Amino acid sequence: MSFADLIAKKSGNGTEDTSAPEAGLQPSPAGSLEKFIQRHGHITESYWFYDHTVELRFNTEEHKYYRVGELGNFIAVPGVTTVCGIVDKSHMLVPWASKMCAQKMLRLMPTEEINGTIRVKPLTLEEFTTLVLEAKSAHKDKLEDAGDVGHASHKCLEDSINHALQTDPEHIVRSLIALPEDERAINAANSALAWMSQHRVRWQETEKKIYSRLHDYAGTADGLAICDSCQNKTCCPVPFTGRLCLIDWKSSNSLKIDYLLQTAAYVHAKQEELGITIADRFVLRLGKSEEEAGKFESWHSTVEDFADDFAAFLGCLSLVRLVDSVEERMKTQKGSIRALRKEQKETAKSLQKEQEKLQKALDKAEAKRLREEEKVKIKLLAKAERERLKAEKKAGQYSPLTEEIKAILEPAHVQRPSNAVVEEEENTLLPYKLPMEG
């Protein structure tokens, strides 16, 4: 087995679907309701905006937002996180993914100790290929694990904030409830609690959907709260009291600039719909490790930073829509090309059938013509032979049948008898014997 065949055998040839979101989705009447339900079975309940005039739905499995159209159809709406994802982070992610792959390979590599030295055990090419292909998914494993930790810590904070909104007069989270099992998630939640305590956070809402009717995008904001400045000048360089702030939790290992674009989009949607002013944004990276437990990294953005961040988001939104438009155009073009090729193939197949049918008719006509010619030829030769025999008989001389006449009168598949029998048969055919010469 070649190396290329081995790779194909081990890795398979599946491809991801990169098609653009549908422009409008609704069940077609021709018996496809069940397929529609399967396709959109994870659509959530309705979210209403702008005095109950705009209805939004969210697909939890695909993590996509849909606006409900006038006819009840689902119209895909760009999500804030997806839009910000167009910012290139490959300069960080590619080296990180390579590092994850190398670390997993080292963990999976079978080793043995010989004379006090740890060595790699002998591997066949197939065993080594299997190991490499298993290690290449290390970055996905890490992201899934990080996503689980982030989800668990977010859920703990959401439950704790909702509990404070319902039970605490000042809407202050004084302690965490429903702590997760993962120690890293607990550390992250405690880091958030430490930040809330330092800024005397009075919550207004948490995990609320947002929608901008002006720019037609949607998302989910972690929360709005009334905050005071802390004593740390690196976090809050200017003292303030009682400002309305947008809060966004992050459990990543570092803060990225697209988080600023993301929070600016949330702020604009809230201000556009409710006519309020959100003065500050806090993007908080929560410590997950044992060393970072109870610690956080804060990006504090004020009104002065909003215009640039939101303009950058709108640029990303415009680019996403242009890319989607081009992809949709190419998807349509590819579909048209496939349909045209199918039509051409069917036309060629039909033409080939017609040609075969015509050729068959021509062959049949040609065979008939040859038979007719053969019949005419036989009749002419037979007539000529009769006239020859008649003339010889009249002259008193007879000669054997010619070879040409014999071939006509005697089919080729008939076995010829021996020479003696032939001579006897020929003599019996002649009424008179030819006179001997000399």
Is 59 a domain residue? no
Given a cut of 70, is residue 294 above it in pLDDT?
yes
Given a cut of 50, is residue 430 above it in pLDDT?
no
DSSP H/E element including 294: none
Distance CA 115, CA 275 (A): 75
Per-residue buried b or exposed e for 199-217, using 16+ beta carbons within 10 Å of the residue's own CB: bbbbbbebeebbbbeebeb
Mean of pLDDT values over 350-363: 93
Mean of pLDDT values over 64-73: 91
pLDDT computed for residue 79 by the predictor: 95
Distance CA 259, CA 87 (A): 10
**Residues 313-336: tens digit of each pLDDT:** 999 999 999 999 999 999 999 989
CATH code, 237: 3.90.320
pLDDT higher for 295 or 246?
246
Total tally of structural domains belonging to the chain = 1
Distance CA 156, CA 153 (A): 5
Is 341 a domain residue? no
Distance CA 206, CA 419 (A): 116
Backbone angle region of 49, left / alpha / beta, with phi > 0 → left and psi within -120 to 50 → alpha: beta
- Report the mean per-residue pLDDT for the chain: 83
Angle at 432 between CA 427 and CA 433, to 5 degrees: 60
Is 258 a domain residue? yes
Calculate the dihedral angle through the C-alpha atoms of 265, 326, 77, 84, rounding to the nearest 10 degrees: -30
Mean of pLDDT values over 375-396: 86
Is 370 a domain residue? no
Sequence length of the chain is 438
pLDDT band at 60 (very low <50, low <70, confident <90, very high): confident
Given a cut of 50, is residue 223 above it in pLDDT?
yes
Which of the residue ranges 45-59, 144-158, 242-256 would you say has the lowest mean pLDDT? 144-158
Structure tokens belonging to residue 277: 């002013």
**Beta-carbon contacts of residue 252 (< 8 Å; ≥ 6 apart):** 146, 150, 285
Is 249 a domain residue? yes
Structure tokens belonging to residue 263: 């929070």
Mean of pLDDT values over 337-354: 92
Distance CA 393, CA 388 (A): 8
pLDDT higher for 207 or 37?
207
**Residues 10-46: tens digit of each pLDDT:** 555 444 444 444 444 544 444 454 455 455 567 878 9
Is 320 a domain residue? yes
**Residues 90-141: tens digit of each pLDDT:** 777 788 778 888 888 888 888 888 888 888 888 888 888 888 888 888 777 7
pLDDT computed for residue 133 by the predictor: 87
Instruction: Report whether 243 contacts 227 (CB < 8 A).
Output: yes
Given a cut of 90, is residue 278 above it in pLDDT?
yes
Which of the residue ranges 65-79, 140-154, 396-410 would you say has the lowest mean pLDDT? 396-410
Is 115 a domain residue? no
Given a cut of 80, is residue 397 above it in pLDDT?
no
- Per the structure, the complete domain to which residue 251 belongs is given by 150-324
pLDDT higher for 278 or 138?
278
Distance CA 91, CA 87 (A): 11
Is 48 a domain residue? no
- Ranges of beta strands (E only) in 60-198 are 64-68, 74-77, 111-114, 117-120
Q: Is 188 exposed, middle or buried (0-12, 13-18, 19+ CB in 10 A)?
A: buried
pLDDT computed for residue 41 by the predictor: 60
